[in-house]
Amino acid sequence: MHETLLAVAPAFHFRDVVFSHGWLRLPPYQWDDEAGILSRLDRLPSGSVARTEIRDTPEGLLVRTEAEPEHAAARARWMLALDEDFSGFHALCEGEPHLARAAERGQGRILRCPTAWEDLVKTLFSVNTTWRQTIAMTTHLVNHYGASHPSGAAAFPDPEVVARIDPQELQERCRVGYRAGVLSAIAREVADGRLDLERLKSVSLEEAEAGLLAIRGIGPYAAANMLMLLGHYDHLPVDSWFRKTVRDAWFNGESTPDRKMVEAFDRFRPYRTLVYLFYDWEGAMRREVWEGTVG
């Protein structure tokens, strides 16, 4: 195994990034909670499949990989957003009790996949379905079509591979429902070079958003989720989870139009998504209950 040590920001907490949202539960990510090791399999440019492990040490993040260590280190930096500056967000947290923890712990980094392609497919699998089914769809896709590692597990399939699969077969083997046609179309466009998802990492917010919304099957929620994963933190992914969380904490559990709930985040521009992700919702809800009891 090759080892690389990566420097991190002073107030960096590995587990906070790993558990920033649900991506950790989607293969090929694996998490060893006891050892505190995040690992995954990736198909490398050379064609081989290598395991990469990341764990925290007092000296920094240790990246261990079976091959192409420079490539693995670059992937890790992107996956954990190590090169991003969150000082603006932390300054915004000042004076906001339920964001104090976020500032103290240096939060703001969100776990993402090495490629925008993988993030987009997983986002598509999270649309209009249960989280359990999102995990099942991703697991089926990886197990059936991902390049396999000697260990028997597999990497996330490349778009070229998915592009060659008949949509009906995709539906039957991966249980992705109506998403089969959308997934197939996206894979073919990426494979043909008509759609450059990696480019979205380096363009402006406006261009990234327009590019995402132009993809059939990607609406406001999915685009906002992708923008967050691309490093733009001001488009709220309004889904059923968002609605329940905000309604319960800020609107006394009463039915509230999306517009009103989004407006409640106005004062947190341009970091609304980070506030949504790292706000101490439990603390806010306990306070509601306490005030209600006393009042």
Near DNA by CB under 7 A: residue from 60, 167, 220, 231:
220
The span of 37-45, 70-78, 80-88, 171-179 binding DNA (CB under 7 A) equals: 171-179
Out of 39, 107, 138, 225, the residue judged to bind DNA by CB under 7 A: 225
Q: Which of 260, 229, 272, 235 is nearest to 92 (CA)?
A: 272
Q: Which of 120, 127, 118, 116 is nearest to 215 (CA)?
A: 120
Options 7-15, 58-66, 170-178, 285-293: segment touching DNA (CB under 7 A):
170-178
| Residues β-bridged to residue 43 | 49
Can residue 36 be called a binding residue for DNA (CB under 7 A)? Answer: no
Question: Binding to DNA by residue 21, rule CB under 7 A?
Answer: yes
231 near DNA (CB under 7 A): no
Q: Is 152 in the site for DNA (CB under 7 A)?
A: no
Closest distance of CB 224 from DNA, Å? 8
- Out of 84, 189, 234, 239, the only residue in the binding site for DNA (CB under 7 A) is 239
Pick one of 6, 62, 100, 136: the residue that binds DNA (CB under 7 A). Answer: 136
Using CB under 7 A, which of 36, 69, 217, 231 touches DNA? 217
Q: Which segments within the chain are labelled E, that is strand?
A: 2-6, 30-32, 37-43, 49-57, 60-65
Judged by CB under 7 A, the number of residues near DNA is 30
Q: Which of 10, 23, 14, 19 is nearest to 90 (CA)?
A: 10
218 near DNA, judged by CB under 7 A: yes
Least distance in angstroms from the C-beta of 256 to DNA: 12
Spatial distance between the Cα atoms of 225 and 209, rounded to a whole number of angstroms: 11
Nearer to DNA, 115 or 225 (CB): 225
Between 30 and 129, whose beta carbon lies closer to DNA?
129
Closest C-alpha among 31, 14, 39, 32 to residue 107:
14
259 binds DNA (CB under 7 A): yes
User: Cα–Cα distance between 174 and 102 in angstroms, integer?
Assistant: 38
The reply to whether 18 sits near DNA by the rule CB under 7 A is no
d(CA 29, CA 151): 14
**Contact residues for 184 (Cβ-Cβ < 8 A; gap 6+):** 162, 163, 165, 166, 167, 170
Which residue reads 């985040």 in tokens?
Answer: 265
What type of residue is 112? Answer: R
Q: Which residues bind to DNA, rule: CB under 7 A?
A: 21-22, 126-133, 136, 171, 175, 177-178, 216-223, 225, 237, 239-241, 257, 259
